Structure 1
Amino acid sequence: MKTTYVAVGLTFSLGLILSACQTPQSRQAELAQICANPVNRATGSFYYGECQSLYPSTDRRLQRNYRLGAPTGN
Structure 2
Amino acid sequence: MNTYVLAAVVFSVGLALAGCQTSQSRQAELATICADPNNRAPKSGYWSECQALYPSSDQALQKDYLLGAAVGN
Return the TM-score normalized by structure 1.
Answer: 0.74
The percentage of counterpart residues that share the same residue type is 61
Count of matched residue pairs: 69
The structure with higher relative contact order (CA 8 Å, sep 6+) is 2
Q: Distance in 1 between matches of 2:21 and 2:53?
A: 18
- Which one has the largest radius of gyration? 1
Tell me, what secondary structure is at the counterpart of 1:34? helix
Return the TM-score normalized by structure 2.
Answer: 0.75
Matched, 1:19 2:15: no
Alignment RMSD:
2.0
Tell me, what secondary structure is at the counterpart of 2:43? coil
Alignment of 1:1-74 (within 5 A): 2-62=1-61, 64-66=63-65, 68-69=67-68
